[in-house]
Amino acid sequence: MISMIAEIIGRFVIRWLVSGLGLWVAASLLGPSRMSVGDNFITIAIAGLLLALVNMAIKPILMVLSFPAIILTLGLFMLVVNGFLILLASWLYEPFYVSGLGVAVVAGLIVGLVNYLVTRILEDI
């Protein structure tokens, strides 16, 4: 039982760190006029934590509600869902700034790519 809880917490911490890393990479690529996560580690860590929590709590609900659109667009609507979740996290945490939904969708692509790459690297270890 304790090992299962430790595994769940460990996965969440990894998801949190990868979300923060993805946000940092996205903000670096998009520029401060479009997206900003601040200039210190604490701000990036809080934004990553908030994005991980939003993904954990709200994304399953949005997936169920938008299932027809996801099927109709062959999964491309997931880009909009991910962008909306990043935009929501930026609304909840003021130092994390995203200028609009289009930028959030591109940021979602970047965060997803970073997440995929880190997951692949960790699986190989």
Under 8 Å between Cβ of 14 and 21 = no
Residue 36: the pLDDT is: 93
Query: 101 is written with which tokens?
Result: 């939904």
**Rounded to the nearest 10 degrees, how much is the dihedral formed by the CA atoms of 40, 94, 11, 4?**
120
Domain count, the chain: 1
Rounded CA separation 121/83 (Å): 25
Closest CA to 109 of 117, 52, 57: 117
Rounded CA separation 77/83 (Å): 10
Closest CA to 122 of 6, 7, 11: 11
* Tens-digit pLDDT profile for residues 38-97: 888 999 999 999 999 999 999 999 999 999 999 999 999 999 999 999 999 999 999 999
| Residue 1's pLDDT band (cuts 50, 70, 90) | confident
Residue 39: the pLDDT is: 80
Which range of residues forms the domain containing residue 91? 2-124
* Tens-digit pLDDT profile for residues 13-23: 988 999 999 99
B/e letters for 65-99, b = 16+ CB within 10 Å, e = fewer, are ebeeebeeeeeebbbbbbbbbbbbbbeebeebbbb
Residue 47: the pLDDT is: 94
